C-alpha cells in the first residue's frame, strides 16, 4: 500500500531535481524520490558488516602479465563457496575484463573483492555491493 506524503523544497533544488529526473528518464517525481529512498536505505543496510549481500567485482588486466590469470583463478577457488559466477571477456589485444559475482556477509565479500582488485597486474578494479533483500 502506498501512502501520500508532502515535502517542501527550495525552488533551485526542485529545478535541479526536475532536470536530473528528466535526464534519467523518470516520468514523475514520486518514482525518483522512491528510488532515492531505496538507495539510501540499501546503503545504510550495507554499512553493517554482517548483512548478507552480493558483490560484483570488476577487474581489467593485461593477460600477458605474468601469472595474473592464475592468481585470479586461485583466489576464486580459495573461496569457491562465496563465488556465484564469473565471466571473462577479451576487451582488447592485451586486456581482459573479469566480472566475479560473490555472495556472503558484507565484511567477507568486501575483503575478498579487495583482495581480487589489489592483485598485482590488475589495471582497474571495482567492487560493487548490493543487498538482495531491499523492502
Please report, for the chain, the start and end positions of each structural domain, with discontinuous segments joined by +: 11-46, 52-130
Q: What is the pLDDT of residue 134?
A: 54
Residue-wise pLDDT for 85-109, tens only, equals 999 999 999 999 999 999 999 999 9
Q: What is the pLDDT of residue 12?
A: 97
Supply the Cα-derived Rg of the chain in whole angstroms. 20
The domain defined by 11-46 folds into Arc Repressor Mutant (1.10.1220)
Per CATH, is 52-130 categorized as 3.90.1150.10?
no
pTM (2 decimals)?
A: 0.81
Question: What's the CA gap between 101 and 97, in Å, rounded?
Answer: 13
The phi and psi torsions of 50 (rounded to 5 degrees) equal -90, -5
The H-or-E segment that residue 61 falls in is strand 52-62
User: Is 9 exposed, middle or buried, given 0-12, 13-18 or 19+ CB atoms closer than 10 A?
Assistant: exposed
Amino acid at each position: 500500500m502506498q501512502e501520500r506524503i508532502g515535502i517542501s523544497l527550495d525552488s533551485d533544488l526542485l529545478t535541479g531535481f526536475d532536470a536530473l529526473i528528466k535526464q534519467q528518464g523518470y516520468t514523475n517525481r514520486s518514482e525518483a524520490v522512491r528510488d532515492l529512498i531505496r538507495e539510501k536505505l540499501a546503503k545504510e543496510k550495507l554499512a553493517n558488516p554482517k548483512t548478507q549481500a552480493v558483490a560484483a567485482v570488476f577487474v581489467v588486466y593485461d593477460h600477458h602479465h605474468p601469472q595474473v590469470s592464475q592468481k585470479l583463478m586461485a583466489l576464486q577457488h580459495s573461496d569457491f563457496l562465496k563465488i556465484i559466477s564469473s565471466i571473462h571477456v577479451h576487451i582488447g589485444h592485451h586486456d581482459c575484463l573479469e566480472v566475479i559475482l560473490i555472495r556472503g556477509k558484507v565484511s567477507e565479500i568486501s575483503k575478498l573483492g579487495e583482495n581480487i582488485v589489489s592483485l598485482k597486474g590488475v589495471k582497474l578494479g571495482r567492487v560493487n555491493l548490493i543487498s538482495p533483500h531491499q523492502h
